[in-house]
Amino acid sequence: MKTKLLLGGILLFAGTSICQAGWLGDTLEGAAKRIGNRAVNDATNSTYDAAKGGVRDAVKGDKGTSSKQPTRKGSDPQRANENATSPPTEGLSIEEAEQVYTKFDFIPGSKTIFFDDFSDTDVGEFPRKWTLEGPKPGSNNTVDVVEFQGKRFLRSVPGAKGQPPATQYIRLNQKGDLPEKFTIEFDALLAPVKEGSVYHLVYRLLLVPADKKIDIFKWNAPNSVLFSGKESSSANTKTALDLGDGKVHHFAVSVNGTFVKAYIDNQRVVNDPDGLKRPIKQIGLQMLTPNNFKTDKLLFSNFRLAEGGKDVKSALDTDGKIITHGILFDTGKATLKPESLPTLKMILALLNDDPELKFSIEGHTDSQGNKGINQPLSERRAEAVKSWLEGKGIESSRLKSDGFGDSKPIDSNKSSEGRANNRRVEFVKF
């Protein structure tokens, strides 16, 4: 009897402490042997906006879902616990966001290296641009593309206890270290594994070093960043969260040498100067639940890896312009999104520091969508940026705006990476 009471107490403690490393070890049992053997922001705004919503919307996958491609319209550390709770992100104007997001300083990399929104993968299939580490043949967990709220996501359904979690690695022709500066972004669902549960969905970004070893049994392991609705952590930082709201959130990671910062929506949740070992050879993303709890809600999309750009002053001196991918708008509109603030503030600082500096603000799209819509939309969006800067005190004589639609690509429109590079706002000196 005493033995049963003791066992019950242990299980109760484990069930109420998801932020401890113990459950991670159980979840990842069997994966350590495998992982040791193996070595994008400018996703279309329409995908990100449409994906936001409750988990009660059906996840269409194995049961009678058509594999027809969706129609696409338009282009478009602290070393201690920060104990942060995310402010609300939906419905804020960019003016309101300025008062709330004081620690949001993420600026996406300027050149997309890898991007996948799974739009070219049939429902029920595994995407060709990724490799899979676990599950293995004979296991009963699945990884495939599904439709969720009208968009495509890669979903993992965990198998039995002891099965390794789904770990996907992007296919890169990487011969050396990744760039010194780079950024990673993706959208994923945050929720408890089931209604009322204390256990949460977990996404673990793996920045695999040259020796291809990450201690997956260690909660705060170097070269990994863990996200859930309950907390985020890196090698030397942990931030408590309350984000298990059953909605799709935007995740962003910024790397500079060994320094890693991470954000959920517009909140910084990791700030770790010693979070990484270099060189970094591969990028992966795990999807898991504590003790392999069954769920069909583990899913992500819009994965973007981008190289960090030149220093803005160097870009102005050498190129006479700054190419940005961090200025975002509401779908089909010229309304600036709060995520645009860090990039806008960077441009504002340049103008304030140099009273002689003048910019032509130029909007560009990729080749997808209706040209008759994209061209005037790119003009209105450039004008919206101009108006924001004027509202901050920059004289109108120092600014002009124009939109070019898809008429001036800087990369091929035949690949998703090229299209992501073409969707941009440029600031050209005049």
Residue 424 has a pLDDT of: 92
Residue 217 has a pLDDT of: 55
**Alpha-carbon gap, residue 48 to 250, rounded angstroms:** 8
Helix axes 312-319, 341-353, angle to 10 degrees: 60
Calculate the alpha carbon distances from 429 to 108, 289, 372, 382, 426 in Å.
21, 50, 28, 15, 10
**Alpha-carbon gap, residue 395 to 342, rounded angstroms:** 21
**Residue 335 class from Cβ within 10 Å (0-12 exposed, 13-18 middle, 19+ buried)?**
middle
The values of phi and psi at residue 133, to 5°, are -115, 100
Residue 346 has a pLDDT of: 92
Q: Which residues, listed in sequence order, are joined to residue 166 by a DSSP beta bridge?
A: 287
> Helix and strand tally (H, E) in the chain?
9, 20
Residue 104 has a pLDDT of: 80
Residue 370 has a pLDDT of: 83
Question: Which pTM does this prediction carry?
Answer: 0.76
Tell me if 9-307 shares its fold with 312-429: no
The values of phi and psi at residue 66, to 5°, are -70, 145
- pLDDT per residue, tens digit, the chain (430 aa), is 444 444 444 333 333 333 333 334 343 333 333 333 333 233 334 333 434 443 334 344 333 333 333 333 333 333 333 333 344 455 677 777 777 766 788 989 989 999 999 999 999 999 999 998 755 555 566 899 999 989 999 999 887 666 677 889 999 877 789 999 999 999 999 999 888 888 899 999 999 887 666 765 566 678 899 999 999 999 999 999 998 899 999 999 999 999 999 999 988 999 999 999 899 988 999 998 887 788 889 999 999 999 986 678 888 888 899 999 989 888 788 999 888 998 999 999 999 999 999 999 999 998 888 888 889 999 999 999 999 999 999 999 999 999 999 999 999 998 889 999 999 999 999 9
Side-chain-facing half-sphere of 179: CA atoms under 13 Å: 17
CATH code, residues 9-307: 2.60.120.560
Calculate the alpha carbon distances from 199 to 43, 147, 161, 206 in Å.
29, 24, 15, 21
**Alpha-carbon gap, residue 400 to 415, rounded angstroms:** 31
Q: Which CATH architecture has domain 312-429?
A: 2-Layer Sandwich (3.30)
Domains in the chain: boundaries? 9-307, 312-429
